[in-house]
Chain A
């Protein structure tokens, strides 16, 4: 595979077919996947349940062998022991030894890297602090909650300061603060030139940290590219500003109408990753592409539907507890659930928000955050609106 050494992970026509005991083909988990993951990038693997993300990752790690095609990691076969020293891996669930406590767990994995005792101890302490488990390190990890196990799993993946970090749904089960810190961590690692491959269903997370993504459906690659390329809407222009009152807007319109000047801020408005994802999966489903994984059912099972008055009343009663405005439409319980979900998101954001200001790890390069782009925008707007005198608050 000497021709493939340029990428950290290179896959060509990677295919995995699971057969049953009688060697009959049962499911094609990954089909003809080509990947070139370069050093220093954060690469996201997306796709609905059963689309082959974990299978791809396992083939990259040598836990499964490709049926066809090949994959090279650091230019070597995935089963080669020599490359493992530079790899950190967090599986889809934290498969840990329940009889060890957190410290012993990390110490054990450190030993497997033949780390000297001193270094091991230092790293274990630092990692425990980082994932916030320093005070419960003496407890057996079998007793940990899912999120705590996730955190120790993450720490385990980092004990060798890996060049290549492979994370399968890293944030599943983690609380919002943990998720936030996790994203900061990924960005820090990326800044240090580490390569990260992650799969996730939390599109917001992926959108925040990934440089490039690959969307799989039925084991096939449906989209691959840089995040900004995939999400940019080239037909539109976006201007970001502080809130404008009516007069200011009026003058803005006038200025644009006059249009003596060129564009003020050239930025493609970003599609939400969510809509891109949904669009791709929907397209795939409309084309009736085969998948061994889940197809979006979406139709609520009939016995769960509020087709009788009684059912409706019970459900409505339940919903109105959580919501001031109970839905009036009998058929729209689903939408009320959506609304509840929305409220939840807001509550979550409130939870996260105070943390944002206190967090020491306040990200500098957050693509989504508006604050770094505020300064140039202000200047442009000033110019646009005829200087600070026309400040909306004053007029």
Chain B
């Protein structure tokens, strides 16, 4: 171990003295300096912070990937080329320890750069956070959609098979199925089997399409499972300071702690009545109770100066994106959301109008979730006053329930660890290539892995052999498929395990996910490649001249 560490330290001081660190830090600072100018985005504070996180972490990851590859390729090849390896290899140090030491040194070095960079970006993001938000929802987005760590669950998938079956039966009953068959058979030139499969396919896609869109007045129904509610409800006393008759709103003074757990547009209970926060400031919040509640209900007694019981429940978020078949003139989609706790019958309803095809988020009380983590949701596509409207599409992948699962800082740290694991893998590739190739060739090999592992998912999609074309017969396809298989086994999919998306969307990266995605895909491959590198180097004739 001491031998490995001696080599690692040596590598570290080499890297430090190569001034790569200085150049990198300068570049990072330059990038962060120009960022505020580029960082306009959609003009919102949340958008700017997201751009910073995405751009900063993305650039850091990419720059460091290249740095890692060049360094890791260079450390061994330069030793062999400059023959400094002669004096090292004749010391009582196993060659595998030398290889591991070199790798470790590079990883520690880029780790230092990565941490420097991450800390800078984090500090910058926190600095932006203190800035002016565009409006209350912008502030809410910053706090509950960026600087947080959430998990999401998708609704129960639509049972396409059953729906298709039902549809087919309906068509058969109406006699339209047979008609359509005739047309398809004619089209395919008498091939009945092919015609049938084409027809089935068409029914299926039609069913899937209609299941994810509703006409004016139509209703979506979703069922969510596995929602885990974190946190406890908070109770406190508040004082009514203002009763505004015109807007029918109450202004209530409360302590910092309670206010801190409230969300603009989110739920709050005042004297046991469920309300929504319509304004949130440093010292107070405002709600708009319904006329009923104020007239004869539990809030009737509330006058200026009265004391109230306030409860802030833990919250969950429902986020969705609705698209329209025809854009309404005001570009707004009006809807009624109804959320139900299937166990208690607790219900929440909200009238909403959302911009077309724009992600929207509702913050609601976690009391809507039953003890088994279930919640039902219903969306009514409201027609306009003439009873007309547009049909609305909400894809299965465009709706989710989100709930807090940890802190932004935790996710940020784990995300950084994930990038470090990627770099460690690249360092292993570089060291392995450098253990038997000359610098230029090893660089070529190393740099080739970068796009391959970055665009791995894309390759996977585009290279997926079409099952209908049957087994591949021509040699080129076979070779291609074989190479791809090697690449897929050897290279982890960085795009899939990139933490940037999670970071900018305030999604949690859990230790379990880190362990799964990173350890399994990254660490095992890294170790395998290091073992190969050690084996190659162990056998190598070091004094052989390489050109």
Q: Which of A90-98, A262-270, A361-369 sits within the interface? A: A90-98
Contact pattern, B 11-31, Cβ under 8 Å of A = 1, otherwise 0:
001100110000000000000
B91, A91: Cβ atoms closer than 8 Å? no
Complex CA distance for A99 and B14, rounded to whole angstroms: 7
A111, B543: Cβ atoms closer than 8 Å? no
- Asked if A62 is an interface residue, CB under 8 A from chain B, the answer is yes
- Asked if B515 is an interface residue, CB under 8 A from chain A, the answer is no
CB neighbors of A among B75-93 (8 A): 82-93
State the Cβ distance, B146 to closest chain A Cβ, in Å.
Answer: 43
- Asked if A138 is an interface residue, CB under 8 A from chain B, the answer is no
B3, A114: Cβ atoms closer than 8 Å? yes
Chain A residues, CB < 8 A from B544 = 64
B93, A81: Cβ atoms closer than 8 Å? yes
Chain B residues, CB < 8 A from A163 = none
State the Cβ distance, A221 to closest chain B Cβ, in Å.
Answer: 21
- Asked if B182 is an interface residue, CB under 8 A from chain A, the answer is no
State the Cβ distance, A83 to closest chain B Cβ, in Å.
Answer: 8
A84, B86: Cβ atoms closer than 8 Å? no
A63, B91: Cβ atoms closer than 8 Å? no
Least CB separation from A153: chain B residue: B87
B2, A62: Cβ atoms closer than 8 Å? no
B92, A63: Cβ atoms closer than 8 Å? no
Chain A residues, CB < 8 A from B17 = 99
Contact pattern, A 63-104, Cβ under 8 Å of B = 1, otherwise 0:
111000000000000000110110101010101110110001
Partner of A82, one of B18, B89, B92, B543: B92
CB neighbors of A among B113-129 (8 A): none
Chain B residues, CB < 8 A from A112 = 3, 6, 88, 91-93
A85, B92: Cβ atoms closer than 8 Å? yes
Partner of B90, one of A64, A82, A84, A97: A84
Least CB separation from B78: chain A residue: A97
State the Cβ distance, A362 to closest chain B Cβ, in Å.
Answer: 32
Complex CA distance for A394 and B148, rounded to whole angstroms: 110
State the Cβ distance, B434 to closest chain A Cβ, in Å.
Answer: 17
Complex CA distance for A91 and B14, rounded to whole angstroms: 22
- Asked if B372 is an interface residue, CB under 8 A from chain A, the answer is no
Least CB separation from A97: chain B residue: B84
Size class of the contact patch on chain A: 20 to 34
- Asked if A109 is an interface residue, CB under 8 A from chain B, the answer is yes
Chain B residues, CB < 8 A from A114 = 2-3, 92
Least CB separation from B547: chain A residue: A21
Chain B residues, CB < 8 A from A91 = 83, 86-87
Known interface pairs A84-B91, A112-B6. Does A95 touch B543 (Cβ–Cβ under 8 Å)? Answer: no
Least CB separation from B10: chain A residue: A108
| Pair count A-B, CB < 8 A | 73
Known interface pairs A64-B543, A111-B2, A114-B2. Does A95 touch B92 (Cβ–Cβ under 8 Å)? Answer: no
A89, B6: Cβ atoms closer than 8 Å? no
- Asked if A61 is an interface residue, CB under 8 A from chain B, the answer is yes
State the Cβ distance, B279 to closest chain A Cβ, in Å.
Answer: 62
A87, B82: Cβ atoms closer than 8 Å? no
A95, B89: Cβ atoms closer than 8 Å? no
Task: Output the residue of A64, A82, A99 with the most chain B CB within 10 A.
Answer: A99
- Asked if A58 is an interface residue, CB under 8 A from chain B, the answer is yes
Least CB separation from B544: chain A residue: A64
Chain B residues, CB < 8 A from A95 = 82-87
A81, B94: Cβ atoms closer than 8 Å? yes
Known interface pairs A111-B6, A112-B3, A114-B2. Does A61 touch B92 (Cβ–Cβ under 8 Å)? Answer: no
Least CB separation from A82: chain B residue: B92
Complex CA distance for A93 and B83, rounded to whole angstroms: 9
CB neighbors of A among B50-87 (8 A): 82-87
Complex CA distance for A58 and B90, rounded to whole angstroms: 10
A156, B87: Cβ atoms closer than 8 Å? yes
Contact pattern, B 125-144, Cβ under 8 Å of A = 1, otherwise 0:
00000000000000000000
Complex CA distance for A96 and B93, rounded to whole angstroms: 17
Known interface pairs A95-B83, A95-B84. Does A61 touch B91 (Cβ–Cβ under 8 Å)? Answer: no
Chain A residues, CB < 8 A from B88 = 112
Number of interface residues of B (CB under 8 A): 26
State the Cβ distance, A247 to closest chain B Cβ, in Å.
Answer: 62
Chain B residues, CB < 8 A from A113 = 91-92
- Asked if B542 is an interface residue, CB under 8 A from chain A, the answer is yes
B14, A97: Cβ atoms closer than 8 Å? yes
Partner of B6, one of A58, A100, A108: A108
- Asked if B541 is an interface residue, CB under 8 A from chain A, the answer is yes
A64, B541: Cβ atoms closer than 8 Å? yes
Least CB separation from A168: chain B residue: B86
State the Cβ distance, B37 to closest chain A Cβ, in Å.
Answer: 38
B89, A63: Cβ atoms closer than 8 Å? yes
Chain A residues, CB < 8 A from B90 = 61-63, 84, 87, 89
A89, B92: Cβ atoms closer than 8 Å? no
Complex CA distance for A87 and B543, rounded to whole angstroms: 18
Chain B residues, CB < 8 A from A104 = 13
Least CB separation from A108: chain B residue: B10
Partner of A109, one of B83, B91, B541, B543: B91
Chain A residues, CB < 8 A from B86 = 58, 61, 63, 89, 91, 95
Known interface pairs A81-B92, A112-B91. Does A63 touch B3 (Cβ–Cβ under 8 Å)? Answer: no
State the Cβ distance, B354 to closest chain A Cβ, in Å.
Answer: 61
CB neighbors of A among B235-260 (8 A): none
Complex CA distance for A144 and B83, rounded to whole angstroms: 17
Complex CA distance for A324 and B465, rounded to whole angstroms: 89
State the Cβ distance, A149 to closest chain B Cβ, in Å.
Answer: 12
CB neighbors of B among A143-177 (8 A): 153, 156
Chain A residues, CB < 8 A from B18 = 99
Chain A residues, CB < 8 A from B84 = 95-97
Least CB separation from A89: chain B residue: B90
State the Cβ distance, A146 to closest chain B Cβ, in Å.
Answer: 15
Chain B residues, CB < 8 A from A89 = 86-87, 90
Complex CA distance for A108 and B542, rounded to whole angstroms: 20
Known interface pairs A87-B90, A99-B17, A112-B91. Does A63 touch B541 (Cβ–Cβ under 8 Å)? Answer: yes
State the Cβ distance, A167 to closest chain B Cβ, in Å.
Answer: 12
CB neighbors of B among A262-285 (8 A): none
State the Cβ distance, B435 to closest chain A Cβ, in Å.
Answer: 16
Chain B residues, CB < 8 A from A63 = 86, 89-90, 541-543
Chain A residues, CB < 8 A from B83 = 91, 93, 95
Chain B residues, CB < 8 A from A111 = 2-3, 6, 9
Chain B residues, CB < 8 A from A93 = 83
Complex CA distance for A89 and B83, rounded to whole angstroms: 13
Chain B residues, CB < 8 A from A64 = 541-544
Task: Output the residue of A58, A62, A85, A97 with the most chain B CB within 10 A.
Answer: A97
Least CB separation from A94: chain B residue: B87
Complex CA distance for A100 and B82, rounded to whole angstroms: 15
Complex CA distance for A91 and B84, rounded to whole angstroms: 9
State the Cβ distance, B80 to closest chain A Cβ, in Å.
Answer: 10
Task: Output the residue of A82, A93, A111, A113 with the most chain B CB within 10 A.
Answer: A111
Known: A95-B82, A109-B91, A111-B3. 15 other contacts (CB 8 A): A58-B543, A61-B86, A61-B89, A61-B90, A62-B90, A63-B86, A65-B541, A81-B94, A84-B92, A87-B90, A97-B84, A100-B13, A108-B6, A111-B2, A111-B9
- Pick 26 A–B contacts, CB within 8 A, sort by A: A58-B86, A58-B543, A62-B89, A63-B90, A63-B541, A65-B541, A81-B92, A81-B93, A84-B91, A91-B83, A93-B83, A95-B82, A95-B83, A95-B86, A95-B87, A96-B84, A97-B14, A99-B13, A99-B14, A108-B6, A109-B87, A111-B6, A112-B3, A112-B6, A113-B92, A156-B87
Across chains A and B, which 9 residue pairs bring their CB atoms closest together, nearest first?
A: A111-B6, A112-B91, A63-B543, A84-B92, A95-B83, A85-B92, A99-B17, A89-B90, A95-B84
